[in-house]
Amino acid sequence: MSRQWYRWVVFSAALCWLSLVFGFYYAGHKPFSLENISQLGRNLFVLLVSLAVVLVAGGLGRHLRAGCWANPLIRVSMQAAAGMGCISIGWLVLGTVVGINPLLCWVVLVLLALLLRRGIYEWLSDWRACVHVWFSSGKLGKLLALEIGGMLVLSLLMSLAPPITFDSLVYHLTIPQEYLLRGRVHYMPELMFWGMPQVVEIIYTWLMGLGGASAATVTGWIAGALALLGLFGYVTESISHAAGWVAVAALLSGYSFVVLLPSGYVEWFTVWFGVAGLASLGDWYLKSGRRELIWAGVFSGLAAGTKYTAGALTLAMMVVVMAVNLRRGHGKSRLWSDLAHYLLPAVFVFSPWLIKNAVAVINPVYPFFFPSGSMDALRLRYYHLPAWGDWATALLLPVTATVEGFEGAPGFSASISPLLLALSPFAFLGYKNKSREQRAGLRLSGSIGLIGLLVWMFASRLSGFLIQSRLYFVVFPAIAVLAGAGFQALASVRLPGLRLRRIIGTMIALSMGLTLIQYSNETVRRHPLGVLVGVQSQEQYLEQNLGWYFLAMQAIRALPDQSRVLLLWEPRSYYCQPKCVPDEILDRWHRDLASFARPEVILQDWRANFTHILYYRMGAEFVRADDPRYTTSDWLALEDLLAHLPALQDFGGAYQLYALQP
């Protein structure tokens, strides 16, 4: 036997032996189960679906030529934002006229991918610029990049897990779920939140038709990441690389911004459209081009189409357009022309949501201002909250929102970054020595940030709801630009024997690190990895994080198909649709008492429309302790009514399920 043949024999024998040993060993010592493989495959599928939708949005934005900035990072962000907004309006029309279902969702995705394949390729080609970002960053930039990366990874894990955040279960995901159940976009009288603008909810409907709720929350996470990318690109282009990292950190070191990334809410979309609008207006300021002004209007209209209060950006930009024209000495014809080029696109992309409401309930700004739909005069009064705090709270808003705002707490209801307040006052140091681009960026950001704050101050005195920080996140990119510029200005100050840049950089990195630790603790407490790798079922994950609420929802889903359950003091109906009707603003008992006066008449009405009652006792007790609109006799009447109903199940004293039929 030749030496060559001998080697082949040894190799073949060794390979067979190793394969047999490994095969028999791992046949009995399985390192993972079918559940692990299935769940990991599911996660991959969700990621691919979300990326496919973003690719199509980017390709459409590229085709529309949204964003003419030389910096590819800004272009990537702006074009995807433009595409996403246009797709949402398209789906609103299609879902209303034709309908919406999973099959149609896939057909539209495939058709758009084929039609926009060239734009998608060109959009993807801009991503090569990201490779150079790391190598062109200094030590502080790289440290902040690692901290930002940690936050993004942790929040991505949370976005892949089943949704658990409050407002997503009330309406952000419940509305899309209802559209898919009914097979069309339609009026939902049981949810007054249906009247809110729905740029994001319509996108979520498409995503949920393709890949379920996690596809929607992952796409919300991607929107946040693209918003940060666009902000970084804009600040890098207009100020400096280091300022770009600090601007991003000035948002993400606010705990609420991180928590909202995987939540399935809409706030990061307002930030995204805010960044795109700011960049478009900045481009117009430097070039005086009408095309850039049109896109600024489109993005501000999309922001308002995401959340009514994001219309603060539209107002702020309109004032800026007027001020720039006056400062440059343009005549009235040029002023009116610029205003038309800005406002008409803004109104055009916002108007579908007004038309939707007008067709359904006559009131274009439903559910506000005057009775319409399910919001009668009584409910409008109930929904109105007295202003939070006093005028000092409003006048000192940047300070009070930063110091007194906590995630989920009454009042500001959000924890924003201290870096915004700490750094932005120094943005205009050395203003005369800055370049034309830097001065333009500072003037625009300062004007938009200031007008946004004034709107926030005034609105906060109109209603207790309107003081919430997240309602105005659309103007926070402008304030973040000022924070980045403030760092750059302070870093350029030279003092003998003192490295101010290093001291401030350390404080910024520390702020980011503390937020990262806080969010890491939250992620460990939520434990999404268990469900993501398949060692924990979705039901176990939801029970762990939602407690008795989820057990009550399971009980409702187990009821016969004809069941109709009225929720009392529980606004979250996502996990019990289509069998339940939520108590969306916790006013059902108050409203029925006012309408029917006597408990026996209320019970008669309930029996005519529902088969069961789910009473959230802990929610009612919370309202009872703080809400003066209910009297002692109101609560006694409720207790007497429930005492005469047969109790079917009790969930830890938190929820009770009652049968209504005698």
Query: How would DSSP label each residue in 306-332?
Result: T-GGGHHHHHHHHHHHHHHHHHTT--H
Mean pLDDT of 62-88: 88
At 368-393, the pLDDT tens digits run: 988 888 888 888 888 888 888 888 88
| Distance (Å, whole) CA 178 – CA 578 | 8
Higher per-residue confidence, 584 vs 287: 584
| Distance (Å, whole) CA 471 – CA 200 | 15
At 309-351, the pLDDT tens digits run: 999 999 999 999 999 888 887 878 889 999 999 999 999 999 9
| Distance (Å, whole) CA 557 – CA 619 | 21
Residue 629 has pLDDT above 90, yes or no: no
588 neighbors 566 (Cβ within 8 angstroms): yes
At 566 the three-state DSSP class reads: strand
572 neighbors 547 (Cβ within 8 angstroms): no
Ramachandran angles phi, psi of 565, nearest 5°: -110, 130
Ramachandran angles phi, psi of 580, nearest 5°: -125, 155
Mean pLDDT of 481-503: 85
526 neighbors 161 (Cβ within 8 angstroms): yes
Mean pLDDT of 574-592: 91
Ranges 187-196, 365-374, 434-443, 576-585: which has the least confidence? 434-443
Alpha-carbon dihedral 505, 507, 513, 516, rounded to 10 degrees: -100
Nearest to 96 by CA among 434, 352, 475, 369: 352
At 488 the three-state DSSP class reads: helix
What's residue 532's pLDDT?
Answer: 92
Spatial CB neighbours of 388, under 8 Å, sequence gap ≥ 6:
410, 411, 460, 464, 467
What's residue 410's pLDDT?
Answer: 84
Burial of residue 11, with CB atoms counted within 10 A of its CB: 0-12 exposed, 13-18 middle, 19 or more buried: exposed
Adjacent-strand bridge partners of 649: 657
453 neighbors 397 (Cβ within 8 angstroms): yes
Mean pLDDT of 487-514: 86
- Reported as half-sphere exposure (CB side, CA atoms, 13 A), residue 149 has a value of 7
| Distance (Å, whole) CA 257 – CA 263 | 10
Residue 273 has pLDDT above 70, yes or no: yes
273 neighbors 266 (Cβ within 8 angstroms): no
| Distance (Å, whole) CA 661 – CA 496 | 83
Strands of the 647-651 sheet, one edge to the other: 580-581, 565-568, 612-616, 655-659, 647-651
Residue 31 has pLDDT above 80, yes or no: no
Mean pLDDT of 351-365: 94
259 neighbors 159 (Cβ within 8 angstroms): no
Mean pLDDT of 390-397: 87
Nearest to 475 by CA among 453, 459, 442, 458: 453
Which letter does DSSP use for residue 495 in this model? B
Burial of residue 558, with CB atoms counted within 10 A of its CB: 0-12 exposed, 13-18 middle, 19 or more buried: exposed
What's residue 438's pLDDT?
Answer: 84
Adjacent-strand bridge partners of 523: none
**What stretch of H or E contains 615?**
strand 612-616
Residue 2 has pLDDT above 70, yes or no: no
What's residue 223's pLDDT?
Answer: 97
Amino acid identity of residue 608, one-letter, is A
Q: What is the biggest distance separating any 2 CA atoms in the chain, rounded to whole angstroms?
A: 104
> Mean pLDDT in the chain?
91
Which letter does DSSP use for residue 163 in this model? P
User: pLDDT band at residue 359, thresholds of 50, 70 and 90?
Assistant: very high
Nearest to 584 by CA among 595, 570, 603, 594: 570
Ranges 336-350, 355-369, 427-441: which has the least confidence? 427-441
Geometric angle at alpha carbon 424, from 422 and 429, rounded to 5°: 115
User: pLDDT band at residue 494, thresholds of 50, 70 and 90?
Assistant: confident
At 300 the three-state DSSP class reads: helix
